[in-house]
Amino acid sequence: MAQVSQQQKETVVRQLAALLHVLDSDIALKGLHGQSEVEGTYLFQLRVSDIQGRSSMATATVEVRPDPREREEVELELQVGMAQVSQQQKETVVRQLAALLHVLDSDIALKGLHGQSDISTVFRFSVQGPDGTFPGPKLARLLRNQLLREKSDFLLFKVLRVDTVSK
């Protein structure tokens, strides 16, 4: 089954909004933009009837797939509170990762940074190599081996966890 495009999602929302005479379709649209969808195929059926007994039914099938770009991303959990990480320290960690992986600093694409707890911060990134973007699972294995076993004190902050984004 084909992946549902944003335009198709918006079309379904508009059709359902018109069918239900919903004045503010933004509420329905937000439901299609969730960040933690569960993979799978979903069938939505909506049947409406008026007081004269006439009815109409709309059906939509939506397949939720992982974002293919997430397969290339890795999370690195470091033992440092988010509030304590300066811009200079972020840049230092990126430089250290680049040196460890034998790539340029600009090949490390920092996708996000968030506090995991009061004492840890997660760096989410991908790495562009000479042959394209490194696959996340391969990159995670390499970094786990290097940063949790062989070179545990290589980075500015202690590494607590290395994992792929999409499991």
Q: Please count the structural domains in the chain.
A: 2
Residue 100 has pLDDT above 90, yes or no: yes
**pTM as predicted:** 0.58
Same domain, 160 and 111: yes
Q: Is residue 144 very low, low, confident or very high in pLDDT (cuts 50, 70, 90)?
A: very high
First-to-last CA distance in the chain? 22
Same domain, 83 and 15: no
Share of residues in the chain with pLDDT > 90 (%): 34
Same domain, 46 and 28: yes
Cβ neighbours for 122, distance < 8 A, ≥ 6 positions apart: 75, 76, 77, 78, 112, 113, 114, 115, 116
Cβ neighbours for 49, distance < 8 A, ≥ 6 positions apart: 55
Give pLDDT, residue 35: 47
- Domain assignment of residue 36, given as a range: 6-64
Q: Is residue 22 very low, low, confident or very high in pLDDT (cuts 50, 70, 90)?
A: very low
Determine the angle formed by the axes of helices 87-101 and 136-143, rounding to 10 degrees.
Answer: 90
Same domain, 158 and 110: yes
Residue 21 falls inside a structural domain:
yes
Cβ neighbours for 81, distance < 8 A, ≥ 6 positions apart: 115, 118, 119, 120, 121
Sort 115 into a burial class: Cβ within 10 Å, 0-12 / 13-18 / 19+.
middle
Q: Is residue 1 very low, low, confident or very high in pLDDT (cuts 50, 70, 90)?
A: very low
Same domain, 94 and 47: no
